[in-house]
Structure 1
Amino acid sequence: MRLTSFSDFGLRALLVLAGSERETWSSVELATKLDISRDHLIKVLQRLAAGGYVQTTRGAGGGVRLARRATAIRIGEVLQWLEDDAPLTECFRDDGGQCLLTGFCALRPKLERARRAFYAALNETTLADCLNPALRKFVAVPLSTA
Structure 2
Amino acid sequence: MQLKKYTDYSLRVLIFTGMKSGEELANIKEISQVFNISPNHLGKIVHQLNKLELLETIRGRNGGFRLAKPADEINIGLLVRVLESESPLLECFDKGSNHCVITPACTLKHVLNRALHSFYKVLEGYTLQDLIQNEQELKELMGISK
TM-score when normalising by structure 2: 0.88
Counting aligned pairs with the same residue, the percent is 34
2:10 corresponds to: 10
Tell me the CA shift for residue 98 of structure 1: 1.6
Regions of 4+ moved over 4 Å: none
2:24 corresponds to: 23
The one-letter amino acid of 1:5's match is: K
User: How many angstroms apart in 2 are the aligned matches of 1:114 and 1:28?
Assistant: 38
Q: Which runs of 5+ in 1 are unaligned?
A: none
CA contact (8 A) 1:24 1:63 kept: yes
The one-letter amino acid of 1:69's match is: P
1:136 corresponds to: 139
Q: Which runs of 5+ in 2 are unaligned?
A: none
The one-letter amino acid of 1:87's match is: P
User: How many angstroms apart in 2 are the aligned matches of 1:101 and 1:23?
Assistant: 55
User: How many angstroms apart in 1 are the aligned matches of 2:60 and 2:20?
Assistant: 21
CA contact (8 A) 1:96 1:102 kept: no
Tell me the CA shift for residue 57 of structure 1: 2.6
Q: What RMSD, in angstroms, separates the aligned Cα atoms of the two structures? A: 1.6
1:74 corresponds to: 75
Number of equivalent positions: 142
SS at match of 1:60: coil
2:63 corresponds to: 62
2:112 corresponds to: 111
Q: 1:46 to 1:94 in 2, by over 3 A?
A: farther
SS at match of 2:66: strand
Which segment is superposed worse, 25-34 or 62-71? 25-34
